[in-house]
Structure 1
Amino acid sequence: MKIALVEDNGDQAALVYKIVQSTSHACECFSNGLSLIRALRDQSFDLFILDKNLPDLSGDELVVWIRRTVGLNVPVMFLTSCLSEDSLVGALNAGADDYVSKPIRSAELAARIVALLRRAYPSDRADDPVMQLGPYSLDSITKTARLRGVDVGLAPKEFEVALYLFGNLGRLVPRDVIEKAVWGRVIGPDSRTLDTHVSRVRTKMLIKPEHGFRLVNVYSHGFRLTQLSAEEGQMRDGH
């Protein structure tokens, strides 16, 4: 998995980078919040590790931006030297899932990274050829997508697009990332191929609030499929 680290202290960044590598995950380092925001235009990450005190944006501001733009399901961890109750409660209220205090203890950080990723991305789903989410099921062996047990008739590439979106539920997935995963290359901004396939997936699978899901095109970024609560689905459906 790919982890984004935002840390303006070079020594601290090098230490965390080494710890992340020890967990067998890739790590990309950023020295400030704006550089991460720019990178998210064409990259996606499975975990964000943020220093709470950054030179441009505060850690709280950055995690709020991540939650609004990237989604609610991608885990976020804070690194902080401030252990006051108000500071930690503020971090968690802003949207962080966990925090590690400085000075960093390598074994503790490694264990928390592994635990956070395990909770966010359960391994048992990866071993099951059938992905079941709400009324939808996607069978990676037969390449079939069903809504309440009925085959919706996706073409092969449409199924691959749907499988990638459902497999990244709640995450903002850049356009070129989907293109590479499905077509093996970046198609380019002038092509409507991806938009056409996403539109067909939305139409054939009837992805809408009354079925508990919402698929949105985030301008200049990519696509995000989110699962709604029962209450949200009823509200958006006008019930």
Structure 2
Amino acid sequence: MLASVTSRPAPLARPDGSPIRALVVDDEANLSELLRMALQNEGWDTRTAASGQEALNVIRDFEPDLMVLDVMMPGLDGMGLLARVRTAGNDAPVLFLTAKDAVEDRIAGISAGADDYVTKPFNLEEVVVRLRGMARRHVAAVADADPRLRVGDLSLDEDAYEVERGGIPIKLTAREFELLRYLMQNPRRVLSKAQILDEVWSYDFGGDGSVVEIYISYLRKKIDTLGDPLIHTVRGVGYTIKAS
């Protein structure tokens, strides 16, 4: 019997601060919608597909961070879809859903490249918890593999001391670079002027918070003029950087 999700921890996010992308592939529309709603409730960007062939198109355009695949679908089934996905070099975590509960079926699913296997009918909260764990591990692996800090189409390379947005290089002063790095190390987190002063200007800085406003304006002129605004002011609280 399906159970509702009763609680959830702080939302997970991709390394650039944007929502986790999840794809649910199942020819049972009601089941797909139930999972979509549960994952949307996690704060994730979730899409569905009703067949393996449709899923291939969604995967190409959407680039999901994880996938839930029904094993038994007409046409291109879950096993066949996963084989194509892995052959294409996509290593996003996959959870199989199936009505088959024999041990050999579970072994076949894991052997095919799936990361987890759940039989129908299932407990919705359990599935969400499993997907949450898969997403957490995937995000950590991606972050470790990429030396750059990223927020949307903005990237900062700490080793090369380079910043670019949408492929366009951005020249920053040393202080601007340090301020941007601190913001990008904390995507979607609202940082107060006091926190920024302590981290970027150090505790012995003798000025006041107005210097933060000035340097935030410098960054906006160099970064936000190249696309949608990334640096946001939360009045009375501080500043945050996040992709729209």
TM-score range, shorter chain: 0.5 to 0.7
Deviation per residue, 1:163-194 (Å, 9 max, x gap):
xxxxxxxxxxxxxxxxxxxx759xxxxxxxxx
Cα pair distance change 1:184/1:57, threshold 3 Å: farther
- Which residues of structure 2 form unaligned runs of 5+? 1-19, 170-225, 229-244
Sequence identity percentage: 23
Cα pair distance change 1:65/1:159, threshold 3 Å: farther
Aligned 1:112-123 pairs, distance under 5 A: 112-122=130-140
Cα pair distance change 1:159/1:75, threshold 3 Å: farther
Rounded to whole Å, the distance in 1 between the matches of 2:142 and 2:100 is 37
Cα pair distance change 1:7/1:184, threshold 3 Å: farther
Rounded to whole Å, the distance in 2 between the matches of 1:82 and 1:124 is 32
Deviation per residue, 1:55-111 (Å, 9 max, x gap):
111211111111122522x11110111111111111111110011211021111111
The answer as to 2:14 corresponding to 1:14 is no
Check the 8 A contact 1:19/1:109 in 2, yes or no.
Answer: no
The answer as to 2:88 corresponding to 1:69 is yes
Of the three residues 145, 156, 160, the one matched with 2:164 is: 156
Rounded to whole Å, the distance in 1 between the matches of 2:42 and 2:86 is 25
Of the three residues 123, 128, 144, the one matched with 2:157 is: 144
Check the 8 A contact 1:6/1:29 in 2, yes or no.
Answer: yes
Please state whether the residue corresponding to 1:156 is helix, strand or coil: strand
Cα pair distance change 1:139/1:17, threshold 3 Å: closer
- TM-score with structure 1 length normalisation? 0.54
Q: Residue type matched to 1:104 in 2?
A: F
Q: Show the counterpart of 1:28.
A: 47
Q: Residue type matched to 1:156 in 2?
A: E
Cα pair distance change 1:142/1:62, threshold 3 Å: closer
Rounded to whole Å, the distance in 1 between the matches of 2:94 and 2:122 is 17
The answer as to 2:103 corresponding to 1:85 is yes
Check the 8 A contact 2:97/2:118 in 1, yes or no.
Answer: yes
Check the 8 A contact 1:143/1:159 in 2, yes or no.
Answer: no
Cα pair distance change 1:52/1:154, threshold 3 Å: same
Cα pair distance change 1:85/1:43, threshold 3 Å: same
Cα pair distance change 1:84/1:2, threshold 3 Å: same
Q: Residue type matched to 1:78 in 2?
A: F
Give the C-alpha shift of residue 138 in structure 1.
Answer: 3.5
Report the number of matched residues.
149
Q: Show the counterpart of 1:38.
A: 57
Please state whether the residue corresponding to 2:76 is helix, strand or coil: coil
Bigger Cα Rg: 2
Deviation per residue, 1:27-66 (Å, 9 max, x gap):
1111000001122332211111000101111211111111
Q: Residue type matched to 2:132 in 1?
A: V
Aligned 1:149-228 pairs, distance under 5 A: 151=160, 156-157=164-165, 158=167, 184=227
Give the C-alpha shift of residue 123 in structure 1.
Answer: 9.3
Rounded to whole Å, the distance in 2 between the matches of 1:15 and 1:6 is 12
Rounded to whole Å, the distance in 2 between the matches of 1:33 and 1:123 is 27
Q: Residue type matched to 1:7 in 2?
A: D
Please state whether the residue corresponding to 2:62 is helix, strand or coil: coil
Rounded to whole Å, the distance in 2 between the matches of 1:62 and 1:71 is 11
Q: Show the counterpart of 2:125.
A: 107
- Which residues of structure 1 form unaligned runs of 5+? 126-131, 161-182, 186-239
